[in-house]
Structure 1
């Protein structure tokens, strides 16, 4: 390009034009690296800005196998008892790497318990007994629906670009009993009790989840009894929930 321009210029003007062109090209060559550096800086600033806003706000859904802890003598689980939990957690990072966070949330839990604690009523007052002969009934369970307020401490190996990572979550869950139903089925028919006053309305427990990617092992241990004053043969029922399963986190 420089040679073409030079050939079109008279000889007497050659020196001034050549000097001007050389100065212009040197200016362009000098500016290109500067523009490149500015673009790199803007990319770094943009990347830092995105990273500074990174959080793991997540919906979750879990399935559990439900057991009891601290059960009365003679207690047994009759059948497989399943539970379902779901909700949302608000991630709030607490360090500069944003891999540690506190996450409060809101959710629902529905638990079934198939066991041999028979619940009946007499004049509207619940009474309890251990059912020792499974052949005399086909179904004995109670179900509970809770409104949950969990809060957890989170560690994860993620970045704003990578959402498949190891995580460990642990925390405390406070639950309020919204509805419960006990059902006993035998040859004589069905006995159903709704909103048993002997169930504790407030439940609280510890939980933990750990895994890689979306699916994680989950365990919840109740810290207080499911029952308030319920007794079997004069002995209080101090059964506490123990829920083991899988929880799936969804961005």
Structure 2
């Protein structure tokens, strides 16, 4: 009787030991499984130094009564920005640069000359003029705060750049054709030589929306039309900006 029960007891004991060993082995493997973290590569010399090019539609704001724009008033600018990262991942930075701008405005704020040779400003009816335009050339100093989610391995990323642009007018010209005479005024002393504004550029990869708002007036203060209206016009440029590494 004792001999017949012993094998059954031995088999149960063997199965119990095998089950216990399997359980402990699985438990230990689950506890010691290493966690794999993604490797983030950071280049301590990585910067977003860039050439930029923008094309904009130019608007005049704070306009006197009756002033209107016609045709396409275009603006072009180009320059270089030096990038200076300010955090370890180099996703935040400050940038400063140098550039040139061309701005053109088709509108009906005419500049002519009186018999005495002084400049006369007036908001004219489009039926009374053949064409009227003003253009200026500027040297730009943009200074901006940058955020981007770029890495040194990828040139495709989201960006938000906000800044201040200081500009100096190196040349300007207005041309009025009223059908009877043509008036051309070069380097008008009534234009503010020093102009400044705030801007925002945001987008993905090459294509970025750009808007710049002038904080000071295009013309000097206290300038009036012949009818007594203040000429406190300011500029607004909206379009696209492209960054090239």
User: Can you list the C-alpha shifts for 1:152-179, whole angstroms capped at 9, x where unaligned?
Assistant: 0010111000001100000000000100
80, 85, 93: which one pairs with 1:93? Answer: 85
Aligned to 1:238: 232
Q: Per-residue deviation at 1:62?
A: 0.3
1:159 aligns with 2:159: no
Q: Per-residue deviation at 1:97?
A: 0.5
User: Can you list the C-alpha shifts for 1:179-201, whole angstroms capped at 9, x where unaligned?
Assistant: 00001123214211100010000
1:125 aligns with 2:106: no
Aligned to 2:32: none
1:72 aligns with 2:64: yes
User: Can you list the C-alpha shifts for 1:50-105, whole angstroms capped at 9, x where unaligned?
Assistant: x1100000000000000011001111112210000110000000000101000011
Matches of 1:57 and 1:188 in 2, distance apart?
52
Matches of 2:175 and 2:70 in 1, distance apart?
14
Matches of 2:72 and 2:160 in 1, distance apart?
28
Q: Is the 8 A contact 1:140 1:183 kept in 2?
A: yes
Matches of 1:190 and 1:125 in 2, distance apart?
15
Stretches of structure 1 lacking an aligned partner (at least 5 in a row)? 1-43
Aligned to 1:110: 102
The list of structure 1 runs, each at least 4 consecutive aligned residues, that deviate by more than 4 angstroms after superposition, is none
User: Can you list the C-alpha shifts for 1:13-42, whole angstroms capped at 9, x where unaligned?
Assistant: xxxxxxxxxxxxxxxxxxxxxxxxxxxxxx
Per the alignment, in what secondary structure is the counterpart of residue 140 of structure 1?
strand
Matches of 1:219 and 1:180 in 2, distance apart?
22
Stretches of structure 2 lacking an aligned partner (at least 5 in a row)? 1-38
Q: Per-residue deviation at 1:128?
A: 0.3
1:207 aligns with 2:202: no
**TM-score, normalised by the number of residues in structure 1:** 0.78
241, 244, 247: which one pairs with 2:241? Answer: 247
Matches of 2:71 and 2:124 in 1, distance apart?
14
Matches of 2:163 and 2:237 in 1, distance apart?
15
**TM-score, normalised by the number of residues in structure 2:** 0.80
Aligned CA RMSD, in angstroms, stands at 1.3
Matches of 1:73 and 1:234 in 2, distance apart?
11
More helix by share: 1
Aligned to 1:12: none
Aligned to 1:139: 131
